[in-house]
Structure 1
Amino acid sequence: MKLNSTAEDDFLSRLITSYIRQLFDDREVTVEMQKKLFDYYYQELAKAVDVGYSPKFKMYDEALAVSFKKNIAEFSAFKATSFKNQLESLLIQDGKIAPWSAFKKLADDLHLDYNRRWLQTEYHQTVAVANMAQQWQQFEADADLYPNLKYNAVNDGRTREEHRAWDGLVLPINHPFWKKHLPPNDWGCRCNVTQTDEAVSKEIPEIKSKGAFANNPALSGKVFAENAYKKGLDADGVKESKELVSEFLVSKM
Structure 2
Amino acid sequence: MYVFSEEYITKLLQGIFDGSITPYELPTNLYFDIAEYLKKGLYEGFGATLADLVPDSTDYELLAELRENIYMFSAAKTYQETREMTDMLTDGDKVRSFREFKEEASKVFTQYNENYLRTEYNTAIGQAQMASKWQQIERDKDIFPNLRYSTIGDACKICGPLDGFTAPVDDPAWDTITPMNHFECACVLEQHDEDAELTPKEDRDELLDTASGLMQPTFRMNPGKDKVVFDKEHPYFDVAPKDRDFAEMNFGLPIPEDDGE
Band the TM-score falls in, shorter-chain normalisation:
0.7 to 0.9
Partner of 2:228: 222
| Pairing partner for 2:146 from 145, 148, 152 | 148
SS in 2 for 1:161: coil
Aligned length: 241
The residue number in structure 2 matching 1:187 is: 183
Question: Where does the alignment leave 5 or more consecutive residues of structure 2 unmatched?
Answer: none
CA distance in 2, matches of 1:145, 1:241: 43
Q: Secondary structure at the match of 2:147?
A: strand
1:43-82 matched pairs, under 5 angstroms: 43-55=36-48, 61-82=59-80
Moved more, 79-88 or 192-201: 192-201
Q: One-letter code of the match for 2:160?
A: R
Percent of residue pairs identical: 25
Q: CA RMSD in A?
A: 2.4
Please give the TM-score of this superposition, normalised by the length of structure 2: 0.83
Within 5 Å, which residues of 2 pair with 1:77-92?
Answer: 77-92=75-90
Rounded to whole Å, the distance in 2 between the matches of 1:20 and 1:238 is 25
Q: Indicate which of 8, 21, 37 corresponds to 1:29.
A: 21
The within-5 A match list for 1:1-253 is: 3-4=1-2, 9-10=3-4, 13-24=6-17, 26-29=18-21, 34-55=27-48, 61-154=59-152, 156=154, 159-197=155-193, 198-202=196-200, 203-204=203-204, 205=207, 206-207=209-210, 208=212, 209-226=215-232, 227-231=234-238, 233-244=239-250, 248-249=254-255, 252=257
Alpha carbons of structure 1 residues 16 and 245: separation in structure 2 relative to 1, 3 Å: same
Alignment deviations for residues 158-183 of structure 1 (CA, whole Å, 9 cap, x no partner): x3212111111011111110111100
The one-letter amino acid of 2:79's match is T
Deviations 1:51-84 (A, max 9, x none): 1112258986111111111112111111111111
Q: Distance in 2 between matches of 1:106 and 1:240?
A: 27
In 1, Cα distance between equivalents of 2:244 and 2:166? 41
CA contact (8 A) 1:186 1:213 kept: yes
Cα distance 1:144–1:43, how it changes in 2: closer, same or farther (>3 A)?
A: same
Query: Is the Cα contact below 8 Å between 1:35 and 1:244 reproduced in 2?
Result: no
Q: Which moved more, 1:66-75 or 1:47-56?
A: 47-56
Mapped contact 1:53–1:60 kept (Cα < 8 A): no
Secondary structure (helix, strand or coil) at the match of 2:27 reads helix
Q: Quick one: structure 1 residues 99 and 84, their matched pair in 2 at CA, closer, same or farther if it must change by over 3 Å? A: same
What's the CA shift for 1:252? 2.7
Residue 22 of structure 1: SS of its match in structure 2?
A: helix
- Which structure 1 residue ranges, 5 or more long, are not aligned? none
